[in-house]
Amino acid sequence: MDFKNKVIWITGASSGIGKSLAIALSKMDCKLILSARRTTELENVKTLCKQPNLVYVLPLDLAEIDDMPTLTNIAVTAFGQVDILINNGGISQRSPIIDTSIEVDRKLMEIDYLGTVALSKALLPHFIANQSGHYVVVSSLMGKFSSSYRSAYCGAKHALHGFFDALRLEHDKDNVKVTMICPGFVNTNVARNALTADGTKQGYQDNMTENGLDVEVFVKRMIKAIKKEKFEAYIGKFEKFGVYVKRLSPKLLHKLVLRSKVR
C-alpha cells in the first residue's frame, strides 16, 4: 500500500502513539484527519506535521457514541473521502478485579470497545460505497492474552478482536481491510492515565512501560504492518512472544506471566 494522497483519520491523535503516528505519516504525502478530545493539543500536533495545510482537526470523544454519524460526515467532507481509519483512541486500567468498580469496567467497554465500534460502523457505508477502505485498530497484546490488574482493559481489547474479525469476513467482498495492531509495552503516558479501582488516574509510570519500546520505533513498525495490510501485528519486546506461547500451551503462559509479576 502507498499512502500518497490517501486520507487517513487517526483517533487518539493528541498524544502518545497517535501523535507520533500523525507526524510520521505527514511525511508520506497523505492527508490527515486528527481526532481526540483535546482541541488545543490536536492543533499543536497539526503544527508539528510536515504539511499542516493537509491536516484537518476534528475533536471527538469516544464516549459520545451518538455523535459518530455526524462526525463521520464531517470527516468525509473534509477531503472528500476517508481511505484509512486508525482507531487508536482509548484508555487503560490498573487495579485488582476484587476492588474495581463495575463503573470502571463499563467505562473501558464504552470507550475502548463501543466507541471504536460506533465510529467504525458509521464509516462503513462510505467504505462499501467506495468498494475500498482500511480499518487499523490499535488493540494490545492484552487483546490476545491477559495479565493481572488489567481485567477491564483485557476484556475490551479481546472484544475488539471478535468484532473486527467478523467485520473482515463480512466485508471482504467490499475490499474492506482490517489490520489489528497489538502493542506490547510502549513508552507513552498510557500507564499514568490508566484508571484505578475507583476510576481515578494512576498518575505514575510503571517500570515495564518506562522500559518499553520507544514510541517512534513502535510507529515505524506499525506503519510497515499497515502498508503490508497484515491481519495482525504483534509489536513489542520479549512480551510479544506471549502470543505464540499461548498457542502452544495456555498453562505455560499462565505460569510465565505469574512469574513476571507484571504490574
CA distances from residue 64 to 9, 91, 110, 198 in whole angstroms, order as listed: 18, 15, 9, 21
Q: Of 25, 33, 28, 135, which is closest to residue 87 (Cα–Cα)?
A: 135
Distance CA 13, CA 19 (A): 5
* 149 flagged as catalytic: no
Classified as helix, coil or strand, 13 is coil
Distance CA 162, CA 166 (A): 6
Q: What is the DSSP string of 99-160?
A: G--HHHHHHHIIIIIIIHHHHHHHHHHHHHHHT-EEEEEE--GGGTS--TT-HHHHHHHHHH
- Contact indicator for 205, 103 with CB cutoff of 8 Å: no
Q: Of 112, 197, 119, which is closest to residue 161 (Cα–Cα)?
A: 112
Strand partners, 178: 135
Of the residues 135, 153, 234, 244, which is catalytic? 153
Strand partners, 55: 32
Give me 66's grid cell.
451518538
Give me 211's grid cell.
522500559
Q: Which residues are the active-site residues? A: 153
